[in-house]
Amino acid sequence: MHRLIEKGLMFGNLIRVDAPVLVERYNRALQHLSGRKTALDAFHIDISGYSPEIGDELDDALYLNHQGVNRQFILLTTEQSSAPLLNAKFSTSRGILKQFIEENRAQLFALTAQDAVAGEIVNSVYLADTPARLFDIRKLQIEADTTSGTVAMADALGGMIDRFKTEPDAWHDDVLIAQMIGMAKKTGDVVRNPVRLKQMEFSQDNFWTDHFGGMYVFRGVEHPAAILAGGKDGVGELPIPYVFDFDDRSAIAKFLELNDLVEPIIAARGVDSSAILRQKMDFLVVSVAAKMGEDLAGASRRDLRRLGRQYARDLPEEWKGLAALVRWADEDGPWPKITSEHPAYFYTLRAKPRADSDLVNMLLAELAPLDIRQLFICHKEVFYRAYASWPEEKKAYVAAFLEREYQVDKAGTRAALFGAEDDMAEPAPAAPKPDLITRVGPWGAVTGRR
CA 70, distance to chain mean position in Å, is: 16
Backbone φ and ψ of 11, nearest 5°: 60, 25
For residue 233, CA distances in Å to 199, 210, 211, 228, 243 come to 40, 16, 14, 10, 12
In the three-class reduction of DSSP (H, G, I as helix; E, B as strand; rest coil), residue 72 is classed as strand
Contacts of 312 (CB under 8 A, 6+ apart): none
- What's the CA gap between 48 and 290, in Å, rounded? 37
For residue 159, CA distances in Å to 140, 156, 190, 204 come to 27, 5, 11, 33
The DSSP string of 198-234 is ---EEE-SEEEE-GGG-EEEE-SSSS-EEEETT-STT
Q: Per residue of the chain (450 residues), give pLDDT as tens.
A: 888 988 888 988 899 999 999 999 999 999 999 999 999 999 999 999 999 999 999 999 999 998 898 899 999 999 999 999 999 999 999 999 999 999 999 889 888 988 899 999 988 788 888 999 999 998 899 998 888 777 766 666 556 666 666 777 666 666 666 765 676 656 554 444 456 788 788 988 999 999 999 999 999 999 999 999 999 988 999 999 999 999 999 999 999 999 999 999 988 877 788 899 999 999 999 999 999 999 998 888 899 999 999 999 999 999 999 999 999 988 888 888 899 999 999 999 999 988 899 999 999 999 999 999 999 999 999 999 999 999 999 999 999 999 988 876 777 788 778 875 444 444 444 444 444 444 443 333 333 333
Question: Measured in Å, how far apart are the chain's first and last C-alpha atoms?
Answer: 19
- C-beta of residue 326 within 8 angstroms of C-beta of residue 311: no
CA dihedral 38, 44, 49, 52 (to 10 degrees): -70
What pLDDT, on a 0 to 100 scale, did the predictor assign at position 337?
A: 87
Give, for 357, the enclosing helix (H) or strand (E): helix 357-367
Burial 67-84 (b: 16+ CB within 10 A, else e): ebbbbbbbbbbbebbbbb
Backbone φ and ψ of 435, nearest 5°: -65, -20
* Number of residues written out for the chain: 450
What pLDDT, on a 0 to 100 scale, did the predictor assign at position 447?
A: 37
Burial 234-244 (b: 16+ CB within 10 A, else e): ebeebeeebbb
Relative orientation angle of helices 273-291 and 392-401, to the nearest 10 degrees: 150
For residue 258, CA distances in Å to 119, 224, 251, 345 come to 40, 10, 10, 16
For residue 93, CA distances in Å to 86, 90, 229, 362 come to 10, 6, 20, 15
- C-beta of residue 33 within 8 angstroms of C-beta of residue 22: no
CA 37, distance to chain mean position in Å, is: 26
- The secondary structure of 255-298, three-state, reads HHHHCCCEEEHHHCCCCCHHHHHHHHHHHHHHHHHHHCCCCCCC
Relative orientation angle of helices 301-310 and 273-291, to the nearest 10 degrees: 60
| Amino acid in position 450 | R
What pLDDT, on a 0 to 100 scale, did the predictor assign at position 51?
A: 96
| Nearest partner of 304 among 321, 325, 289, 318, judged by Cα | 289
Q: What does pTM read for this prediction? A: 0.83
